[in-house]
Amino acid sequence: MFDFDASIRNNAAGKTLICAHRGVSGGNIPCNTMAAFAAALAQGADMIELDVTKSRDGEYFVFHPGKESAHLRTRRLIGVSDAKTVRKFRYVNQDDDKTQFGVDRLDEVFDFLRGKCYINVDKFWTDVPGISSVIRRAGVERQVVVKTSLRSEHLRAVKECAPDFMFMPIVRDRDEITDELRRQGVNCIGAEILFEKDSAPVASDEYIADMHKKGMLLFVNAIVYNYKEVLAGGHNDDISAAGDPDGGWGWLIDKKFDIIQTDWCGMLQSYMERRGAASGRPGSGT
């Protein structure tokens, strides 16, 4: 269990944290549901990533906007539906059969995860003031990590509404924006980095060492949501789960990335434990 009153840098010191992408889903358990988050915790997740979308009448739900057709088998978007209608939606499972799981409100999920893990709130940039208000009402400010692009309007909204939240800009190349944000009073704890090739500046040993020297954490994606969109130089969940974890997760760990987002939380946890046993060092942050 983490001490959320302490810095995330202290809790992550010498460890690689596991971030479960939308929880852990499969079989009859859909992603972004309470059951998926419970499964992620059971499989050793240190952080859970979730998506936020807002109904027409201003209620915040945990759901990836635009995925209604795939996950709910409806063409009606949550963004154009009222909360009463959203409450009637039901997820389908991997066989396309309707499940018992509905779409949860963001405040309900925060209540469930309070004190259990770090929470990576995706789609934060879609409504920084509104989502920030829900975070504060739920009292999970010390658990939540938020992220946006480097667009000026996004950064301005974070500065105005959430300067105390743990913040990670999303970057594709080396950028000193982290220093600037800290000078402006934003609680920048690192960066979520994306790179197509190992030769990218943000994947270099020099950049990683420099960021660590500044006390910054680096979040990297092993997930594959579209095989054409390379997020971590091909060191991903696909090759790791299919038999080459050293070339996937292991490469990311050896590069000293601090947080790995994955869809295969339990397998990554087991792999890290085996590595830790072999080296005599702990394998994860749990």
Q: Is residue 180 part of a domain?
A: yes
Q: Is residue 235 part of a domain?
A: yes
Q: Give the whole-angstrom CA distance, residue 284 versus residue 95.
A: 33
Q: Label residue 279 exposed, middle or buried (CB < 10 Å: 0-12, 13-18, 19+).
A: exposed
Give the range of the structural domain holding residue 238, as residue numbers without chain letter: 16-27+34-44+107-279
Q: Is residue 177 part of a domain?
A: yes
Q: Is residue 88 part of a domain?
A: no
Q: Is residue 286 part of a domain?
A: no
Distances (CA, A) of 224 to 50, 231, 232, 240: 16, 8, 9, 11
Q: Is residue 93 part of a domain?
A: no
Q: Is residue 229 part of a domain?
A: yes
Domain CATH code at residue 40: 3.20.20.190
How confident is the model at residue 181, as a pLDDT? 81
How confident is the model at residue 286, as a pLDDT? 42
How confident is the model at residue 283, as a pLDDT? 53
Q: Is residue 78 part of a domain?
A: no
Sign for the pseudo-dihedral over CA of 107, 111, 112, 115: positive
Task: Characterize the bridge pairing of strands 47-54 and 60-62.
Answer: antiparallel
CB count within 10 Å of CB 94 equals 12
Averaged over successive runs of 10 residues, the pLDDT of the chain (286 residues) comes to 89 91 98 98 97 98 97 96 97 96 98 98 97 98 95 93 96 79 87 95 94 94 95 97 98 97 98 78 47
Number of structural domains in the chain: 1
